[in-house]
Structure 1
Amino acid sequence: MSTSAAEVPLLQLEQVAKIYAGGDGAEVRALDGITLSIAAGEFVAIMGQSGSGKSTLMNVLGCLDTPTRGRYQVRGIDVATLGKDELASLRRDCFGFVFQRYNLMTTITAAENVELPAIYAGAAKAQRVQRAAALLGQLGLGERLGHKPNQLSGGQQQRVSIARALMNGADVILADEPTGALDSKSGEEVLALLGRLHGDGHTIILITHDAKVAAHAERIIQISDGRITEDSGSRGRSAALRALHTDRRHPHWLPDLGEAVKMALHSLRGNLFRSALTLLGVVIGVAAVVTMLAIGNGSKAQVMKSIESMGSNLLLVQPGAPGTRPSGEMAMLKETDAEAIEALAGVQAVSPQRQSRQTLRYGNIDYKSNVTGVWPTWTQMQDWKLSEGVFVSDDDVKTYAPVIVLGTTVARNLFPDLASPIGLYVLVGKVPFQVVGVLASKGANAFGSDMDDVAVIPLSTGFARVFGKRFLGTINVKLASADVADDTEAAITELLTGRHGTIDFQVRSTTSLMEMATTTQNTLTLLLGSVAFISLLVGGIGVMNIMLVNVTERTREIGVRMATGARTSNILLQFNTEALVICGIGGVIGVLLGIGAALAAEALGSKVVFTVAPALFAFGSAFITGLLFGYLPARKAANLDPVVALASE
């Protein structure tokens, strides 16, 4: 004849032993051959002195610990067949724990403590809030929902822990010395409350060393040296059987994530100073990445602007054999070379030039500047406009006219009190030149040099009156299009080699210069970014260190979470989320601080270019850093033994 479901004991232990290795290698038997059956609806007191094994028995009954030998069944289900997460689900749905020291989380409110088991059960927030408020109201704490544990008396904290035990409708309430930390009045109230819960059909298992406390139970089991020495048997009628929760579903992780973020913020607020120091490492790392890359990109943009200011689609012919440093004092290029190049196919315009450092004078004001002799095509090559007046003309070159066009810096220094210098004369050396134009301002180049510190004269006049020897410093060649750059460069090389009988010149394109500058600047930017990323890595190591400290300090909290049904994934999610929240907040602050630092650098004269990519890279790196460096502490927390965690001080 088969045994009916009603006849199956709620909890049944058969020859259960729990054996530990002693310090000297000898066995320590915390439980030694326990055989025990507890029916649904019983009120059982397990009584014994300290070290008798009663707490170990409670841990086994509550699936916090597993037997070394023997078999333990919950309504016919052998717990040995259940995995770690299935045991967590069994604790979550079937058992409610009431601890002597309450084991409430100090950083959250009474209501939030009560909600904790329902979070791991996947209950909706509105449902959790409503049930927690109802339970606390039934226990006389309806006006204390928003109070934190340190704002409650011992008796009130124990009521909160009882409400937490009831949150998921637990079949079995396991109360470990529930009155041990209370005064006599509060203790009586808690015992009376457990009696009412028994009357409602809950199975109550009371762990105590006090005979007066045990007297409130219907059945008293004496335990000593890990063995049951006396069992009074049931003294009253068991309440109606309650349906055992065997739901082993795994709630979706997304609601858990929201709660994990909320708990992470509570944890951060719980130790603001340490949290701030942890954030500081991440903030500095992210800010360094943003600032360094902004400055690096600004430097790159400045170099590119300087090269582009020379004009696009240009070839630069300079004196000196390849591999030597070009110099304007090398007498290898002549005006006739420029004229010959001008006749080549693909050449749109040619601008030869010669430059020297000269002293310019107006009245009693002297100013030393770069004086450059050019052809009229120079402004086209340089893409340089005039702010007033005219530029050097073909007639000026042909007639050796003593005319000069000033850069804005030269004009400002020679004529500080005049609105316009047009028509006035300046001395270049001892030769008077009439000012016919002023160039528009271009500012500084990538290397910080003032591009407006220049004075331009006809090349022929420069040879005759300023420079002396008739050789060129550079021949600028404007191409019809970038497509003919290689062919034209080869043609110029062939032409000048034939004219000079040797290769005593160099031909460079602005395109190649830009490519070289881009490569160099990218390398420098990468170097800056790498240095900044190292600081972010150091910040990440700091996060891991703090999270490991957190795990150590919050070991008991982890045990409480496991006792209330937290699975491995819940603990992993919680501590990984805390690391991600730290790094996420640090990332946001770091990005803002990095932008501020870059703006400060710009105010001090550095060129800065902001793009979205560095900020996203820095924030993403901080986020990934939190994920990577948070995993090890989270894994350590998730692998803790519930019993060891709960016993931690």
Structure 2
Amino acid sequence: MHAADTPPLIALRGIRKRYGGGTQPEVGVLHGIDLTIRAGEFVALVGASGSGKSTLMHVLGCLDRATAGTYHINGHDVTTLDADALAWLRREAFGFVFQGYHLIASETASENVQVPAIYAGMPDVERAARAAALLDRLGLADKQGNRPNQLSGGQQQRVSIARALMNGGRILLADEPTGALDTRSGAEVMALLHELADAGHTIILITHDRDVAAQARRVIEIRDGVIVADSNESVDAGNETVDGSNHTVDAGNDTVAYHNERPLDPASSPTRRTLPDLDLRDAATTSGASLQADLREALRTAWRGMRMNRGRTGLTLLGIIIGVASVIVMLAIGEGARQKVVEQMGSMGTTIMYLNSQPPATGGPAGQLTPDDLEAVQALPEIRRVMPVIGDPITVRRGNAERQNYVFAANQDMPAIHHWKLVAGRYFTDAEDRALAPLVVLGIGAKNHFFRDTPDPLGRQVLIGNSPFEVIGVLAERGADSGAQYYDDMVFIPYRSGRARVYQAQTQPDYVVVEAMSSQDVLPAEKAMNDLLIARHGGRKDFAIGNAAARLQAEAATRNSMTMMLGLIAAVSLLVGGIGVMNVMLMTVRERTREIGIRVATGARQRDILRQFLTEAVLLTVTGGVMGLIAGLAIGAGLIALGMQLVFSVLAMLGAFLCAVITGLVFGFMPARTAARLDPVIALAGEA
């Protein structure tokens, strides 16, 4: 089929472009452009500044949408494509060559060339090999590791041409490609564009220089947003031959021969060839770069950016480090203080219930709490300890010293239940209690009264009532509780021994102290004990159970207050770090506006840009979080060495770290979204 009979590669009908509107004055730039370009043509769009040629190029390259009119590529309506499909089209169909080169300053020549292939999902090894081949054929084999500031203008422009060819470059849009070059470099670039046209690429050259435009095979003049002239000399590009040239390009086969370099295919003809057709239906089925590839590229870029901006990165990291470290240290201090408070409150009975006999509400005698009842209560899963108690003021004597002391007869669990430590000797055992051993442990006040002149009372005896008891221990100072009897004046004897030697008339305990597994288990334990005893007592409730409800509420309030206080500290600390992250990311987006435009022009989707900047924010907070964990542990170790009580929690440290990462996501999202939503045309015009 003759080329004139095939559908045109590009067909514009009635294209208009207006800016402004609403509260802004509306400005028209393009006014009904009709244009047809066939595959393989070398077309120059020439016009003065402000004529609309650059706007037309942006519309042709799918960087901007027309306000009105239709745009077809290979018969497919481009105006119906969504953002992702347009990104696919830019990636697969177009290659951009700009006057300002638009290379990413932080990337090497090879990495700049590879950018379009990254978003096409090309594997790393294949991508690097293709970029190396393109740069080699363009005479830049020894410059692949150089960054743009290490290249001349002509070399940078050749890198941008290699980038345009990376994904095939069926349509090359060259915007003033020689405008920033000297005469020799400009001539080399134009020769290269001719070679690419010979290889089957469609070249659309945008220029204001008529001498440059005259080198194209078709010249279209645009003035005031309308086409005023069209030489139409080479519409049938398929039949046109070009002058003999030693420069051969075969970018469709991944390599380009330039400037007398060896050709890829020495047997190839210098006549113009045709590249494979572009099928826009592939846009709906091609996903581009995978999530894994996107994240890998984003991490690489982010890490390089952090290294290149060490000062700013360090200050931002400092905010995150302080936030995470302060959370860890404050939580450790708070947990240490909380445990101390809870321990002190526990000694006052936050897990304790009191069981005693009483007449039932329906009348009748009080119940009897038998040893079997107490064993059954002890077997309940919610119960930790059961301690029967008999206590009354009894005369205690030693020599000439005599006083009424509260004699507390209980089992070996008393120190554990009441969190009471000994300062001398030991407490009696269950075996000694069962053996009715006459042993006594003194409160510190009783010890000072009866053994004022004896530093060590252990092994000595006191009379309790008329029975001698051997002193085996002294309890630590306790004080008094809300006007109750002074604890330190009490003396403590085994329960069975007390019943046999002191309280012979007692048939059951005065009351029973029952300790629940934890303060959260008190109410379930009370219900289980109530149900058990009712069943054992034939359905009669001839007993009473009391608990330390007020103390439980006080403990809960203390825990809640500490948790709220520490939570606020953590929130403020991480908020400060998050604001730092957002600030640095906003600065990064501003500084890298042109890079964003370059990436979009080479096929990046909005979600690719969003992922990249979100990944950078998260990498920043992850790095700061790790360093914050180390700093927090180091500070905590120093405080412990100074004698402070700290309790580190792995869960708290993990929570602080995760909060830092979440902070990066939250505070990095707005800058990332801003970057993803940048207008490509405005971004490309931004400062690098």
TM-score class, shorter:
0.7 to 0.9
Once the two structures are TM-superposed, the CA of residue 382 in structure 1 deviates from its matched residue by: 0.9
Q: Give the whole-Å Cα distance in 2 for the aligned partners of 1:100 and 1:402.
A: 99
Task: Give the letter for the 2:634 counterpart.
Answer: G
Q: Which of 581, 601, 608 is equivalent to 1:543?
A: 581
Q: Tell me if 1:556 matches 2:589.
A: no
How many residues align? The count is 565
Q: Give the whole-Å Cα distance in 1 for the aligned partners of 2:132 and 2:406.
A: 90
Partner of 2:414: 381
| Aligned pairs for 1:354-365 within 5 A | none
For the 8 Å contact 2:441–2:472, the answer to whether it is kept is no
TM-score (norm 1): 0.73
Q: Tell me if 1:41 matches 2:40.
A: yes
Say which SS state the counterpart of residue 523 (structure 1) adopts.
Answer: helix
Cα gap change, 1:92 to 1:581, in 2 (>3 Å)? same
Once the two structures are TM-superposed, the CA of residue 26 in structure 1 deviates from its matched residue by: 6.2
Partner of 2:287: 250
Partner of 1:597: 635
Cα gap change, 1:20 to 1:529, in 2 (>3 Å)? closer
Partner of 2:115: 116
Q: Which moved further from structure 2: 379-388 or 526-535?
A: 379-388
Partner of 2:19: 20
For the 8 Å contact 1:297–1:525, the answer to whether it is kept is no
Partner of 1:330: none
Task: Give the letter for the 2:166 counterpart.
Answer: M
Cα gap change, 1:243 to 1:601, in 2 (>3 Å)? same
Partner of 1:55: 54
Q: Give the whole-Å Cα distance in 2 for the aligned partners of 1:122 and 1:615.
A: 38
Partner of 1:198: 197
Partner of 2:274: 241
Once the two structures are TM-superposed, the CA of residue 342 in structure 1 deviates from its matched residue by: 12
For the 8 Å contact 2:317–2:624, the answer to whether it is kept is yes
Task: Give the letter for the 1:169 counterpart.
Answer: G
Cα gap change, 1:290 to 1:458, in 2 (>3 Å)? closer
Say which SS state the counterpart of residue 297 (structure 2) adopts.
Answer: helix
Q: Give the whole-Å Cα distance in 1 for the aligned partners of 2:201 and 2:478.
A: 84
Once the two structures are TM-superposed, the CA of residue 312 in structure 1 deviates from its matched residue by: 10
For the 8 Å contact 1:131–1:167, the answer to whether it is kept is yes
Cα gap change, 1:244 to 1:602, in 2 (>3 Å)? farther
Q: Give the whole-Å Cα distance in 1 for the aligned partners of 2:530 and 2:23.
A: 86
Q: Give the whole-Å Cα distance in 1 for the aligned partners of 2:105 and 2:640.
A: 47
Once the two structures are TM-superposed, the CA of residue 301 in structure 1 deviates from its matched residue by: 2.7
Q: Give the whole-Å Cα distance in 1 for the aligned partners of 2:49 and 2:392.
A: 101
For the 8 Å contact 1:304–1:514, the answer to whether it is kept is no
Query: What's the CA shift string for 1:98-135, capped at 9, x where partnerless?
Result: 11111111122222211111111122222212211221
Cα gap change, 1:61 to 1:373, in 2 (>3 Å)? same
Task: Give the letter for the 1:382 counterpart.
Answer: P
Q: Give the whole-Å Cα distance in 2 for the aligned partners of 1:51 and 1:100.
A: 16
Query: What's the CA shift string for 1:469-509, capped at 9, x where partnerless?
Result: xxxxxx9964498769779999xxxxxxxxxxxxxxxx975
| Aligned pairs for 1:192-591 within 5 A | 192-234=191-233, 236-237=240-241, 239-246=272-279, 247-248=282-283, 249-251=286-288, 252-306=290-344, 346=374, 348-350=387-389, 380-383=413-416, 478-479=513-514, 513=551, 516-591=554-629
Unaligned runs of at least 5 residues, structure 1: 318-339, 355-371, 415-419, 426-434, 446-453, 460-474, 491-506
Once the two structures are TM-superposed, the CA of residue 540 in structure 1 deviates from its matched residue by: 2.0
Q: Give the whole-Å Cα distance in 2 for the aligned partners of 1:24 and 1:379.
A: 87
For the 8 Å contact 2:621–2:660, the answer to whether it is kept is yes
| Aligned pairs for 1:60-79 within 5 A | 60-79=59-78
Cα gap change, 1:187 to 1:520, in 2 (>3 Å)? same
Once the two structures are TM-superposed, the CA of residue 402 in structure 1 deviates from its matched residue by: 12
Q: Give the whole-Å Cα distance in 2 for the aligned partners of 1:574 and 1:169.
A: 25
Task: Give the letter for the 2:389 counterpart.
Answer: V
For the 8 Å contact 2:425–2:458, the answer to whether it is kept is no
Task: Give the letter for the 2:632 counterpart.
Answer: G
Task: Give the letter for the 1:224 counterpart.
Answer: R
Query: What's the CA shift string for 1:500-520, capped at 9, x where partnerless?
Result: xxxxxxx97579856742552
Say which SS state the counterpart of residue 29 (structure 1) adopts.
Answer: strand
CA RMSD of aligned residues (A): 4.9
For the 8 Å contact 2:440–2:473, the answer to whether it is kept is no
Query: What's the CA shift string for 1:614-644, capped at 9, x where partnerless?
Result: 2222222222222222222222222222112
Q: Give the whole-Å Cα distance in 2 for the aligned partners of 1:476 and 1:589.
A: 56
Say which SS state the counterpart of residue 44 (structure 2) adopts.
Answer: strand
For the 8 Å contact 1:391–1:436, the answer to whether it is kept is no
Query: What's the CA shift string for 1:374-404, capped at 9, x where partnerless?
Result: 6585874114787975669999xxxx99997
Q: Give the whole-Å Cα distance in 2 for the aligned partners of 1:150 and 1:444.
A: 78
For the 8 Å contact 1:313–1:511, the answer to whether it is kept is no
Q: Which of 626, 642, 647 is equivalent to 2:680?
A: 642
Partner of 1:160: 159
Unaligned runs of at least 5 residues, structure 2: 235-239, 243-271, 356-367, 375-385, 394-404, 461-469, 480-487, 494-509, 517-524, 535-544
For the 8 Å contact 2:354–2:514, the answer to whether it is kept is no
For the 8 Å contact 2:198–2:273, the answer to whether it is kept is no
Partner of 1:366: none
Say which SS state the counterpart of residue 566 (structure 1) adopts.
Answer: coil
Q: Which moved further from structure 2: 173-182 or 234-243?
A: 234-243
Partner of 1:471: none
Partner of 2:670: 632
Cα gap change, 1:15 to 1:478, in 2 (>3 Å)? closer
For the 8 Å contact 2:410–2:492, the answer to whether it is kept is no
Q: Give the whole-Å Cα distance in 2 for the aligned partners of 1:375 and 1:180.
A: 103
Q: Give the whole-Å Cα distance in 2 for the aligned partners of 1:585 and 1:403.
A: 58
Q: Give the whole-Å Cα distance in 2 for the aligned partners of 1:162 and 1:404.
A: 95
Task: Give the letter for the 2:202 counterpart.
Answer: T
Q: Which moved further from structure 2: 119-128 or 236-245?
A: 236-245
Q: Which moved further from structure 2: 514-523 or 585-594?
A: 514-523
Cα gap change, 1:157 to 1:527, in 2 (>3 Å)? same
Task: Give the letter for the 1:115 counterpart.
Answer: Q
